[in-house]
Amino acid sequence: MPEIKITMLGPSSVGKTSLLTAVYEQSKDVASETKLQLTAIGESADLLQNRLKELKTLPATFSSIKAEGGITGSDKVSMFRFNLGKRGKNSSLLTLQFLDYPGKYHEQKKEYLTQQMTECVAVLIAIDAAALMEEGGKWHEYVNIPQQITELFENTYINLNSPRLVILAPIKCEKYMQDRESIRKLHKAIQENYRNLLNHLGSEELLTKVAVVITPVQTVGSVFFSRIHLTEDGPQFVFRKLNSAATYNPKGSEQVLRYLLSFLLKCYDERRLWGFSQFIRTLFNKDTEFKDAIRHFTFACISDSSSEVVQGQLLLTVE
C-alpha cells in the first residue's frame, strides 16, 4: 500500500501526540461526512486512544510538562500511521505515516535525519503558542528552538527535485484565537519569530517548490493559558479550563490533513511529485472516486479564516 511520510518537528513535550490526537479525531469526524474513512492502525491506535482519554479527563487546572529544549525528549523515533480509504470498504488505499524524531538525532544522526527529511512529502512543525506569545516571547527561543529547526531545513531543503509542504501549527493556542485581532497577532508573531526559516523557504530556489502554511490548532478547545510557573528545570506553562464542565473540544486540527491532501492532489494534477509520484499517480488514475472524495474533503481549506498560506498557493489550489 502506498505510504506518504510526514516529519514532525517541535520542542520537547510540546504536545505533538496531543496534536495528532486532535488531527485524527476531528479529521475522522469530518471525513465521515464524505466517502472517506480515516483509521489509526497498529500501536498508533492505542497511543492515540490513551492520549484521548487523558485529554478528556483533564483537571480544571493543569500544567504542561517542563520544557527541556531539543526537538523531542524521546529516545526513539515515534511513528503514527493512519489508513485512508473509502467508507464501507475493507481495504485502505493510502497510508499516512507521521514520524517524530528524538532531539539527539539533530546532533548525533544528522545524515539519517537529513535523509528522512528528504524522503518526506511534508513537515509539520508544532509550536508552543504560550512560549511564543507570553511575556513578549521571552521563552520562545528556549522552548520552540526555532534556530535548530531552521538549520535543519537549511541543511536539507537544497536542490529539491519535487515540491514540499511545510505546516507551522501553533498549538494550545485557545487564548490567542478569540477574535480576528488576536489571530492576526498570533500570525504576526510566527512570521517574525520564524523569519529566518521563512526567508530560506522563500528563497529563489525554493519559492516555487515549497508551500508554507500557518494553521493554528486548539488541541483541547476548552482550556486557556493561565500563567508560567518557573522551576529549577525550566518554565512550566499552566492552563485552566473555562469552567469545570468544559469538555474536550479541539478546533482547527482537521485543517492539517486538509492541506496535506490538497497538496498531494494538486501535485498529482500537475504531475509534480517527481521523486515519489508514481504510486500516487497510479492510485488516483485507477480510483477516481477516491480522488474525488479527497477533492471534496479539501475544499474547506479556503474557508478557514484562521489559516494562512504564506507561500505556494498554486501548490495548494485544487479546482
**pLDDT, tens only, 133-155:** 999 999 999 889 899 889 889 98
First to last CA, the chain: 27
SS (H, E, C) 244-288: CCCCCCCECCHHHHHHHHHHHHHHHHCCCCHHHCHHHHHHHHHCH
Q: Distance between CA 99 and CA 4 in Å, rounded?
A: 11
Quote the pLDDT of residue 231.
83
The type of residue at 87 is R
> How would you class 202 by CB atoms within 10 Å of its CB: exposed for 0-12, middle for 13-18, buried for 19 or more?
middle
Q: Distance between CA 300 and CA 258 in Å, rounded?
A: 8
Quote the pLDDT of residue 272.
54
C-alpha cell at 314: 498554486
Cβ 223 vs Cβ 174: under 8 Å: yes
Number of domains in the chain: 1
Question: What stretches in the chain show pLDDT beneath 50?
Answer: 65-73, 274-275
Domain that holds residue 190: 3-315
Beta-sheet pairing, 223-231 with 234-241: antiparallel
Q: Distance between CA 44 and CA 98 in Å, rounded?
A: 10
From 80, 105, 92, select the one nearest 19 (Cα to Cα): 80
Beta-sheet pairing, 78-86 with 36-40: antiparallel
Percentage of the chain surpassing pLDDT 90? 35
What phi, psi does 31 have (nearest 5°)?
-65, -30
- Does this model's pTM top 0.85? My answer is yes
Quote the pLDDT of residue 211.
96
Quote the pLDDT of residue 87.
81
Q: Distance between CA 101 and CA 115 in Å, rounded?
A: 13
- Residue 98 sits in a domain whose CATH number is 3.40.50
Please name the residues in contact with 224: beta carbons below 8 A apart, sequence gap of 6 or more. Answer: 174, 175, 239, 240, 242
Quote the pLDDT of residue 128.
93
